[in-house]
Structure 1
Amino acid sequence: MKFSVIIPVYNRPDELGELLQSLKTQNYHDFEVIVIEDGSTIDSSEIIEVFKSQLPIQYLIQPNTGQGFARNNGMEIAKGDFFVILDSDVLLPEDYLQKLSQAIQDRNLDAFGGPDAAGENFSALQKAMDFAMTSVWTTGGIRGKMKDPSKYQARGFNMGVSKAVFEVTGGFADPNQGEDIEWSIRIKKAGFKLELVREAFVYHKRKNTLLSFAKQAFSFGRNRVNVSRFHPGAIKLVHWLPTAFLLFSLSIPVFYYFNNSLFVQSLGLLLFWSMGVILTSSIQNSSIKVGLLSLMTSASQLWSYGLGLPFELLKKAFSR
C-alpha cells in the first residue's frame, strides 16, 4: 500500500521541518509527501530544499484557500492508494505508518481517524492542553478512546481516506469550521467504513497560549453549528454538556445570594471536579505543575466551547 501524506501549511516552516524529520524516520517506506503552501507569507521553501533529497516530496504553492480546500488540492495530485492527512504541528512515532497500514488491512478500512497525545519533551502547558482535550473529566475521554471505533468522527490533524473515498465524496466541502467532522459524517453516509485507529496516534505539538487555546475551543463550539448546516442532526445532547457546565459554573455565585444549600452543594461539586482534574493529570503526567495547569486548560476548554455553541446558534437565528 502506498501512502500519500497530505500536509497543508500556513506560515509554519519550523513546524513543518519537525514533521518531515519524523516522516524521514518511519520504518514504513512506501509513501510520498505532498506539502501545500496555502498562501503563506513565510514560506517553507528552505525546509523543502533540505528534505527533498531525503523524502519524495511534492511542493504545491497556491493562494490562500483554507486548510480544507488546500488538502483537496493536495489529494488531487496524490499518487498513493491511501491519503493520510496531517496538520503541520504534529510529530509521528517511527512506527506510525506501519501500524496504520496494518490496521487498514486487518480491519478493511476505507478511512480512519487517529488520536493525539503529548510527547515526553512537551512543555507543561502543552501537556495540560492535551489533557483538557482528551480527559474523561472534560471531553468524556471520547476523543481517541471510544469503545466503539465506528462512531468516531475523524479530525483533520490526523485522519485519512482511500483514493476511492476521495473520488466518490469529493473531499472537504468547507475550507474550515469543522470541515473534518462534516466530511467524516458524509463518508459514513456514503457507505464507507471509517473507524478510530487508536494505535495510529500523533504527538500534537500545540503552540497555543492559554488565550489562544480558549479561542480555539470557542471556535470548536461554533464549528459544530456550521457542521449542522450540512447535517441537521450533527448537534447531539453530548455537545451541549460544556454549555451546561458553563451555566452550572455561573450559577454558583447566584446561589450564594439566593439559596445557601444549593450554593454549598454546587460549590462542592465544582471542587470535586477540580480535584479530579488536578489529581488525574498530576498522576498521569507525574507533575503537580501540569495538574494545576490542567485545571486552567480544562475549565477554559469547557467554558469556551460551551459559549461558542449557543453563540453561533443565536447568530445563525438572527441572521435569517
Structure 2
Amino acid sequence: MKLLVACIRSIETTCLAHPAIASELIVVDNGSTDGTHAELRRIAAASKVPMTLVPEPRQGLAVARNTGMERARGRIFVFIDDDCVVDRAYLGDLKRHYQSGDGVIRGGRVELGNPNDLPFTIKRSKAAARLTPDVHPGGFVLGCNMTMDREVALRVGCFDERFGVGAPLCSAEDTEYLVRAYALGIPVEYVPDMTVFHHHGRRARAAIEKLHRSYSLGNGALCLKHLVKAPWLVKHFLWTVRSACLESFGGARFDPALQLSHWPVVAMNLLGAARFLCLFIVGRAAPTALQPMSEVAPKQERGP
C-alpha cells in the first residue's frame, strides 16, 4: 500500500506541475482483500487531480489494464504500475512527444527506484529507438511505462487476458500488445525521458531468476500465438538456442552481470508455447475489441 500511495502522489505532482494539460487518474483495484479500497477512497476525496476508482474483482494485470482503458476518457492513455514513481517532468515530456499526433505506442525510461534493488525490469538507454524485427520486443517498451493515443488503442484492441501477472501465461501482456501493434503497422518507440522509477524490491538473485523464468514463459507463448503474423519471433528463439549451446562451451550468459543463463529461457519458452497451445485447444479466448469509450472535451488542452 505504501508504494501505491507513493505512485499516486507522484502522478498528482506531475499533473499539478503541468496544469495546462487536462488529466485524469484511473486506479483499478484488482481484487484487493485488505483495506486498499477504503484508503483509495480517502485519497481520491482529498486529491486535486480528478481520480476514478474502479473495482475489478477479476484477477490479472491484463484484466486491470483493459478495465482502465474502458473507463478512460482522455486522448492519451498512460499505463503506470503501482510500484513505480513518476518523474515530476513526466507530463511535460509526454506533451512534447505527442504534439505531432503521431499514432505510435511509446514507452519511456525506467530507472531503479531503490539502488539496493537488483538492476532488472528497468530500461536506461539514452538513445531513442523504434522496434524492428531485429530486436526482441520483450523489454523494448516496459508495461510499467507505456503510452498510446486512444486511436491506437482502438485499433489494437484489448490486452490478451491469458497473458500477464495473475493469468495462466504469467507475463508478457505488454510485449504481446506490442507485437500486435507492430503487425498492424503501428510504430513502437522508446524515448529516453518520460521517466519512472521502479521500486520492484527484488534484491536476491533467486527472485530475479524466478521473474526471468516467468518472462520467458510468456515470451514463448506469444511466439506461438504470432507464428504466422510475426514469424520473426522464431528467429529470436533460435538465436537463444544457439547462444545456450555456445554458453555450454564457455560462451557469454544471457545477462553476464546477474549471471543468468540462456538455458532456462529456452526451457520456459517451450513450456510457454505448450501452455498456450493447451489454452487454445480448450478454447480459452481473450477479448479483442475495446468497448466504445466516452469522449471528453475539457476546457483545457486535452491530455492523458
Partner residue in 1 for 2:182: 188
Contact 1:245 1:306 in 2 (8 A): no
Per-residue CA deviations over 1:258-310 (Å, capped at 9, x if unaligned) read xxxxxxxx3xx66xx89x96xxxxxxxxxxxxxxxxx3xx2137554344224
Contact 2:107 2:142 in 1 (8 A): yes
Partner residue in 2 for 1:235: 233
| Larger relative contact order (Cα-Cα within 8 Å, sequence gap ≥ 6) | 2
- Give the secondary structure class of the aligned counterpart of 2:46: coil
Per-residue CA deviations over 1:59-89 (Å, capped at 9, x if unaligned) read 1112123111211111111111111011111
Contact 1:19 1:89 in 2 (8 A): yes
The equivalences for 1:86-101 within 5 A come to 86-101=80-95
Q: CA deviation at 1:240?
A: 4.8
Partner residue in 1 for 2:112: 118
- Give the secondary structure class of the aligned counterpart of 1:52: helix
Per-residue CA deviations over 1:152-197 (Å, capped at 9, x if unaligned) read 6533111122111222322212342312112112223333343212
Residues of 2 paired with 1:49 and 1:318: CA distance? 44
In the alignment, structure 1 residue 78 sits paired with structure 2 residue 65: no
Partner residue in 2 for 1:31: 23
Contact 1:224 1:235 in 2 (8 A): no
Structure 2 vs 1, CA of residues 195 and 317 (structure 1 numbering), >3 Å: closer, same or farther?
Answer: closer
Q: CA deviation at 1:221?
A: 1.1
- Give the secondary structure class of the aligned counterpart of 1:117: strand
Partner residue in 2 for 1:154: 141
Of the three residues 32, 44, 51, the one matched with 2:36 is 44
Matched letter for residue 168 of structure 1 = R
Q: CA deviation at 1:129?
A: 2.4
In the alignment, structure 1 residue 312 sits paired with structure 2 residue 302: no
Per-residue CA deviations over 1:7-59 (Å, capped at 9, x if unaligned) read xxxxxx22211101111211224211111111122352214413532231111
Structure 2 vs 1, CA of residues 24 and 148 (structure 1 numbering), >3 Å: closer, same or farther?
Answer: closer
Higher radius of gyration, 1 or 2:
1
Contact 2:224 2:273 in 1 (8 A): no
Percent identity between the aligned chains? 21
Structure 2 vs 1, CA of residues 77 and 318 (structure 1 numbering), >3 Å: closer, same or farther?
Answer: closer
The equivalences for 1:161-172 within 5 A come to 161-172=148-159
Matched letter for residue 89 of structure 1 = D
Across the two proteins, how many residue pairs are aligned to each other?
Answer: 257
Partner residue in 1 for 2:210: 215
Runs (5+) with no aligned partner, structure 1: 1-12, 135-142, 253-265, 278-294
Of the three residues 226, 239, 259, the one matched with 1:299 is 259
Residues of 1 paired with 2:3 and 2:9: CA distance? 10
In the alignment, structure 1 residue 21 sits paired with structure 2 residue 9: yes
Q: CA deviation at 1:213?
A: 1.7
Residues of 2 paired with 1:18 and 1:318: CA distance? 40
Runs (5+) with no aligned partner, structure 2: 165-170, 282-304
Partner residue in 2 for 1:139: none
- Give the secondary structure class of the aligned counterpart of 1:309: helix
Contact 1:214 1:301 in 2 (8 A): no
Residues of 2 paired with 1:109 and 1:315: CA distance? 33
Matched letter for residue 129 of structure 1 = P
Q: CA deviation at 1:92?
A: 1.0
Structure 2 vs 1, CA of residues 309 and 88 (structure 1 numbering), >3 Å: closer, same or farther?
Answer: same
**Structure with the higher fraction of residues in helix conformation:** 1
RMSD: 3.1
The equivalences for 1:212-291 within 5 A come to 212-232=207-227, 233=231, 235-249=233-247, 251=248, 266=250
Matched letter for residue 182 of structure 2 = K
Matched letter for residue 141 of structure 2 = A
Per-residue CA deviations over 1:177-228 (Å, capped at 9, x if unaligned) read 3121121122233333432122112111112243222111111111112112
Matched letter for residue 23 of structure 1 = I
TM-score, with structure 1 as normaliser: 0.69
Residues of 2 paired with 1:190 and 1:40: CA distance? 35
